[in-house]
Amino acid sequence: MPLDPSPQGGSSTAGPILELSDIRKKFGALEVLKGVSLAVSPGESLAIIGASGSGKSTLLRCVNLFEQPTSGQIRFDGRDIEYGDDLWFWKRERILRDLRREVGMVFQSYNLWPHMTVLENIIEAPLQAGLGRRAEIVGKAEELLQKIGMYEKRNEYPSRLSGGQQQRVAIIRALAMEPKILLLDEVTSALDPELVGEVLELIAQLAAEGVTMLVVTHEIAFARDVSDRTIFVHKGVIEEEGPSAEVLGNPGSEHAQRFLRRVLHPNLKKAAGVSDV
């Protein structure tokens, strides 16, 4: 995997698609993020690792403003994103909606909508956003389904699918909005071990196609083999940052070393199973 980000991710602006500066987040007295800055270039895939409670998920959720940072700057696609309680309600709603239409997010627990078929799940958001005529949107959704080999399942309800299939549908549901960046929040953590591979393969394929992504993961092998860069978060601070091979192979910080020892050992088998991604 080349270390420099591939240029094919589609953004008009030069420079980073996403830039966080000095993001802080407090929950009451507890400061979960203590001044985090990072930049993601178009086409780049960035892995965020760290122990549970380190703040990595909160960091991800700050990007689409599921969590409102206490302070700090979010720059996305060349514009500063306003947030804060002082914004007028409707303006705030519009900012959030517009941001989230361009920032995809996939969750640990898939969260497909059980009352809609696979296809309906995928086309709902693009239809609501008015991304095109219905026929176009359906056509694109079917293409995406074909890409993950699930076209035949388009009229099934999610409950009829395996966890791995549901999560892959959740990923292309997010892609159907043509997001400029995709946030993946521990998307394989809820899966049975034998289903993890198919989901990681899809994400690896997307990374190779130049989809910009920010991936919170426990899969060290995935971070090593797929992500261009890796960030290690410890107690709300980025302790390590750099090319994945370096951060994971030869981390400088003691916390990162200890974390990797702890994580790699019990995961050896799982990691071996997916190293052919």
Residues that bind other proteins (CB under 8 A): 64, 66, 93, 96-98, 100-102, 104-105, 107, 109, 111-115, 124-125, 128-129, 157-159, 170, 173-174, 177
Any idea what DSSP says for residue 5? P
Considering beta carbons, is residue 61 or 224 the nearer one to other proteins? 61
Considering beta carbons, is residue 172 or 220 the nearer one to other proteins? 172
Q: For the CB of residue 167, give the shortest distance to other proteins in the complex, in Å.
A: 12
Considering beta carbons, is residue 167 or 230 the nearer one to other proteins? 167
Please, what is the angle between helix 118-129 and helix 163-175, to 10°?
20
Q: For the CB of residue 169, give the shortest distance to other proteins in the complex, in Å.
A: 12
Residue type, 18: L
Give me the DSSP letters along 168-211: HHHHHHHHTT--SEEEEESTTTTS-HHHHHHHHHHHHHHHHTT-
Considering beta carbons, is residue 115 or 261 the nearer one to other proteins? 115
Cα dihedral sign, 127-130-134-138: negative
Q: Which residues pair with 46 in a beta bridge?
A: 214, 229
The answer to whether the CB of 80 falls within 8 A of the CB of 73 is yes
Considering beta carbons, is residue 27 or 113 the nearer one to other proteins? 113
How far is residue 111's CA from residue 109's CA, in Å, rounded to a whole number?
A: 6
Q: For the CB of residue 108, give the shortest distance to other proteins in the complex, in Å.
A: 9
Q: For the CB of residue 77, give the shortest distance to other proteins in the complex, in Å.
A: 14
Considering beta carbons, is residue 144 or 247 the nearer one to other proteins? 144
Q: For the CB of residue 178, give the shortest distance to other proteins in the complex, in Å.
A: 11
Q: For the CB of residue 10, give the shortest distance to other proteins in the complex, in Å.
A: 18
Exposure string over 40-57, b if 16+ CB within 10 A, otherwise e? bbbbbbbbbbbbeebbbb
